[in-house]
Structure formats: C-alpha cells, structure tokens
Chains A and B, each alone.
Chain A
Amino acid sequence: MDATVQTIEAMERPPVTMASRLEGELLEVSMGPQHPSTHGVFRMNVALEGEIVRKLKPVFGYLHRNHEQIGEHTSYLGSMPYTDRLDYFCSMSNNWAYALSVEKLAGIEVPERAEYLRVILAELTRLQNHASLLGFLLSDMGAWGTPLMYAFREREKILDLFESLAGSRMMCDYMRFGGCRLDASEEWLARAKQIVDRFPEFLDEFEELILGNEIVIGRTQNVGKLSAELAISAGITGPMLRASGVNYDVRKVDGYGFYPRFKFRIPLGNHGDTYDRLMMRALEMRESVGILKQAFAQIQPGPIVNPKVKVRAFRPPAGEAYGRIEAPKGELGFYLISDGGPNPYRYRVRPPSFINLTVLEDLCLGHTVADVMVILGSVDIVMGEVDR
C-alpha cells in the first residue's frame, strides 16, 4: 500500500497539499493486491477520512487479454484451453461451463461416466478453491503463512490428482464436447477417494485454527455487510449471495449434469457479513465432500466421450445457447451465438468474480482501511476472470 497525493478526479479538484491533508480533508490512497499470485493485479483508489473509507473506486483491466475476441476467432475446440486461464484456480469448472454451453448449442449427449467424472472434478475444484480462499483471506488479514500453508497443503494433493489425470496442475484442459479427454483409472479413483475421505480432518483442523479465533471473529463479524436486497439487485451469485441468506444455487435450480442424483444441502448465511462468507466456504466444502463420496460410490465403467462429436472441423448448427454452472465463485456462464461456422459469432463470458466485485464500494464504505483487504478477500476474486 502506498500513499500518493493523486486525486480521483484530479481535473475537478485543486491539488491536495500537505496543509489541506492535515486539516482533515479526504486522503486518497492507491491500494490493492498487486501480486499476481494471490488475487491478481488490481487497484483500489480509496478516499479516506482518517482511517475511514469514504469513497472507493476499483480500477481493473491490468490483466485484460481480449479473451472474448480471441474466442470469436479460434475454433470451438481452440477456446477450451483459453477457458482454463479465466479463473486459473478452477480450470475444471471453467471447462465444464464452456463444454456445457457448446453441448447445448449443438445438442450433444454426454455419456454417464463422463458426467460423473465432471461432477467429481468440479467438486474437487470447489474443495481446492475454497481451501485456498480461506488461506488467502487469513493471509489478507495478517495471518501470514501458517493458514495459507495448511490450505495449500490440501490444495496440492488435489492438484496432484489433476496432474495425474489431465497432465497439468492448473491448466487442465480436460473436458471435451460430449465427454472428457482421458479416462480415470481405478487407481486414480481410489486415490481421489482416499484424499476426499481424509479431507474432513483438514476441515476440522482448519476450523479449530481459525473459526473460533477471537481475532478472526473481531476482524470479520459485522464487517462488510451485504443485504439480501442489494445482493439480488446487483446480480451477486455463489457463496457470497448465499451468505446473505438467499437460497440460490445453480446446482439445485438448473440441476445440470447429474446433480439431481446427489443428496446435498445448501448452506445459508444469516447476516451477510465477512464471517458468514468465510463460514459459507467451510460449510460448502463439507457438502462437497458428501457429493464426492456419493459420486465415488455411483460411478460405473463406460465410455467417456460421445463418439459422434468430431474433433476436427466441428461446426454446431446456427443458433444461440447459454450454459451456466455453479462455479466455486458463483454462476459462471458462457453465451454463444453460432452462425454455423467453425468459430462462434459471439462468445461472451459471464464471470462470477467480476459481477461479485461490483458491490465492493457498498461493502467497504464506513469501514477502516484494514477492513478493505478483508472484504476484498471474502469476495473471492481472481483477476484473470475479472479482466478476461
């Protein structure tokens, strides 16, 4: 965090001098996570009165890569590896959302085993995303190192699973239209099952470590409250919406994939503050473990890809489709318009991080500078997805 004397509306206001700052005028500070390894490259222009935030203007676009335009110029298959790079923590669920929208567009059936594999991988992604989010949030709060290391220890096990299945830890590029690229062996499933069975141990340990901690409670409770009305009108989705007490989960609403076959509950928050958002992730991980256990019990051998789908020269019929899934951060959707050609006419991503970030100012107003980082951490953003 570095203090500058630059103003938000430098043209409209007289330059801030040292004297005027001492007299209690608003002080503008440029702050933000500026290292790509945590949330991404992001800047917030915060106007402060003393330590209290009076104005907050997010500045983003540092990671803009023209994702949507690239998607309109490469083939349908060629966009699949690019979707890994949207939210680089959850490449598997990004793949699924994109594959789902193309399958809707072209009317492709997915074999049963592939659907189970997709559910397993998406829930594993949710586990590792939420685990690393909790670590980052604590790290933003000043608990350097320890909680993040414990979270990353668990995440690493899941990433090793991804690596041995898809060939890459984070850029999995695993799903294909009408199925998945490679089949999971019995040993892989057994290993995944073992890791999932032991995951609640980590959750117990982590909850013991942080959730009862008085400092965490003091820093997060009643901080960054989001009302249900604002959350709905701003289009917030995912754990952040559910922390405000709105029962909306695309897994239940749409019932895409094989989610209707699994028994799971949707945890709901009561207050919509940062602590609820934090707890929401911890509770969702427990539900994900439950889904994974059911999926491991139900999965049967079979084909993993629809043989009718062509790898080369894939051309869906003209039309439009919107496929959406409950990604770990919220509703991730891909909107595609096809004119019958080899690449989409329009390719649009509905990124959950970006839309969840729009209420940042409302959450932060009236809180101190130190709370801004905690609130930002609890929104769970990845700039690769915000900027696209």
Chain B
Amino acid sequence: MIGTGILKGMAVTARNFVGSYFDKERLITIQYPEERNPLPENYRNFPFLIYDGDDPHAGLRCVACKICEKECPPQCIYIVKSDDKKPDYMGKPQFYPKVFDIDISVCMSCQICVEVCPFEAIKMDKEFELSKRERFDALLSRKEELSKSNDYYHKIHPLEAAAVDKNLADAAAVAEAKKKAAAEAAAKAAAAKAAATKPPPAGDAASVPGKPTPSSQQ
C-alpha cells in the first residue's frame, strides 16, 4: 500500500526522538564550551619544543639541526642556528636555535617534524583553542611560546612521554658506558703505546646509539 514506507520512516524518527530522552546512545550532542569530550591520548594538532628541567633556555633539547625545517611539507618552520654552544642533556656542547618560528596558519599538523627529529625535541601539542584577534604576527609562534616543559608533555601524552624518557635515559646510559669503555680503552692503549708504538682505537663517545647524528644523514 502506498504510504507505508513513509509511515515506517516516521516510526523510526519517532523512535529516535522519544529514545533520546531515555537512551544516552541516541543523545549524542555535546554542548561544547560547557561540556567537553576528553581528548584521546594520540590527539595532535600543532608542534611545540620540549625543554628538560625548569629553564626553557638551558634545558631546550633542540640543537638547531634544521632537519624538521627541511622535511616540513608546507615549509612552516624557520630556524636560525646560534653562534655559541650550550651543553645538552648529556653535557655535550651543542648549538641551540637562536630563532625558532612555526607559522601555525601554514602548519597542517602532519607530525612529520616529530618523526624526523633525532633528538626527541619537537612533539605535538593538544592545545586547540588558538583563535587570535590579529591576522599577522599572532599566528606566528616564536621560540618562547613554543618551548614547553617535559612535565607538560607528560601531562598531555603520558604513555608516549614515558617511552621517550626511557629511550633518552637508555641512550644516555649507553653513551656513558661507551665513554667509560673508551676511556678504559684509551688508558689501555696509552699503556700499550708506552710498551709499543701502536695507534689508540678511536671511539666516538658522545654519539647517541640508535639515533644517528644529523651529519651522518645528510
């Protein structure tokens, strides 16, 4: 009979309408500024720089190797390398970025900078309420705004941050062990040299194993 299809459809609509008063599944709208869905752990939107400890300058992990600047598909990162060096988390003197700008009006949140960074220095933020009143400089994030502490990273991505910390600690431990072994080898070699003139074995004590240095990649 003509019209039964329409009546059936209306029954579905009525079921959904009445059901929304009783069934939480059918009432799906979130009243956004007051109510919020929790963000999933993996959520990402814009990158930020990590520093260890309390001082954003001294603890900054970034060594201004410019890999992210080169790999960024929309080219939204701008880095100027420093003239002097400061010690990194393992005490090795490294350059640091004098200027580190990310144009978040260009950034497309693809997280390729995070994947290519050999120093675990750049990570994705979860901040998404970023509307600004000016059109130009306000959307250009400077180094000072981008630098955020490792504690903040632990707060937004707990699992990932724990894994990163473990990696860095392992790398530091391996480097430390290697340094010790190299020192011993050097001492032994010096002793051997004293005995017979032999060249000492060369060991690159400070390189991070598993994380190749930028110079070896280019």
Interface set of A (CB-CB < 8 Å, partner B): 74-75, 77-82, 146, 150, 153, 156, 160, 163-168, 171, 173, 181-182, 205, 208-210, 212-217, 311-313
Contact = CB atoms under 8 A, between A and B. Distances in A.
A262 B88 CA distance: 52
Bin the interface of chain B by size: 20 to 34
A346 B111 CA distance: 25
B65 to A, nearest CB: 11
A312 B71 contact: yes
B6 A213 contact: yes
B6 A146 contact: no
A166 to B, nearest CB: 7
Contacts of B3: 214
B213 interface: no
A217 B116 CA distance: 54
Contact of A165 (B2, B42, B108, B124): B42
A74 B28 contact: no
Contacts of A213: 5-6, 8-9
Give the interface centre of B41, B112, B124, B218 by most chain A CB atoms within 10 Å.
Answer: B112
Interface of B: 2-6, 8-9, 11-13, 16, 28, 40-45, 67, 71-73, 108-112, 115-116, 124, 217-218
A208 B12 contact: yes
A77 B108 contact: no
B9 A80 contact: no
Given A205-B12, A214-B6, A313-B217, A171 B108 contact: yes
A212 B5 contact: yes
29 contacts: A75-B71, A77-B71, A77-B112, A78-B73, A78-B112, A80-B110, A81-B73, A81-B110, A81-B112, A150-B16, A153-B28, A164-B40, A164-B43, A167-B42, A167-B43, A168-B45, A168-B109, A171-B108, A171-B110, A205-B12, A210-B9, A212-B9, A213-B8, A213-B9, A214-B2, A214-B5, A311-B115, A311-B116, A312-B217
Q: Please list the 6 inter-chain residue pairs (A to B) with the smallest Cβ-Cβ separation, ordered nearest first.
A: A81-B110, A164-B40, A212-B5, A78-B73, A167-B44, A213-B5
B110 A209 contact: no
A80 B3 CA distance: 50
A208 B73 CA distance: 46
